[in-house]
Amino acid sequence: MKNNKGFSIIELIVSFSICIIVVVVLFQIVVVLKEVYEKSSVKTVLLNKQNIIVNLIYEDILDKGLNSVASCGDYCITFKFTNNTSKNLSYSEPNKSISYGDYNNPVISGSTINKAVIFTNNEVISVYMPISHKLFSNSDFGIHIVHYVPTS
């Protein structure tokens, strides 16, 4: 008697091919999601650090009034306020941390801090300390302060 139980080889090949394609697609999705998750965690931390320091500096500027800024090194800027106090924004290479006044924050691994740039004319003071990260080549997470001081 002829036995018709079982599956033909073509059915098996087609079924397995479809299953393999679905598994490969799922695997790719998992890999992409993992990369996005890791990148977003790092980006969030970088932006949080940037926001905290920018907030602290602008709070002082708005509270005390900014008189002038001066360089105290390649990675150091002194903010001088109208109440005759001053605070330093600086990056310490040995400690791998950025500090503003008493506030200190370690930079995350993979970050690159570049030399600070100061611009002043009569009424505009600008301070820029660029910070980049190897995962985000086109993004900047630096400290960027622009302040308008009306002379009239």
Partner 1 sequence: MKKKNQGFMLVEALIMSIVIIGVLVFMYIQFQNISRSYDKSFHYNTVTGLYITNEIKVYLDSNSYLDTIKDTVKTYTDKCYDITNYTSDASWASLKQEGKIKTILICYYENDDDLKGKRRVGLSEKFNDFINYIKKEKNTYRILLEFEDDTYASFRLGDD
Is residue 47 a contact residue for partner 1 (CB under 8 A)? Answer: yes
Is residue 36 a contact residue for partner 1 (CB under 8 A)? Answer: yes
Instruction: Report in angstroms how near the CB of residue 114 gets to partner 1 at its nearest.
Output: 16
- Nearest C-alpha neighbor of 125 from the set 84, 82, 91, 90: 82
- Nearest C-alpha neighbor of 85 from the set 104, 98, 101: 101
Contact letters for partner 1, residues 81-120 (x by CB under 8 A):
--------------------------------------x-
In the numeric block, the tokens 């002379």 are attached to 151
Instruction: Report in angstroms how near the CB of residue 121 gets to partner 1 at its nearest.
Output: 5
Long-range (24+ apart) CB contacts under 8 A made by 68-73 are 68/120, 68/125, 69/118, 69/120, 69/125, 69/127, 70/118, 71/116, 71/118
Residues in contact with partner 1 by the rule CB under 8 A = 4-8, 11-12, 14-15, 18-19, 21-22, 25-26, 29, 33, 36, 40, 43, 47, 50-51, 54-55, 58, 119, 121-124, 126, 128, 139-140, 144-148, 150, 152
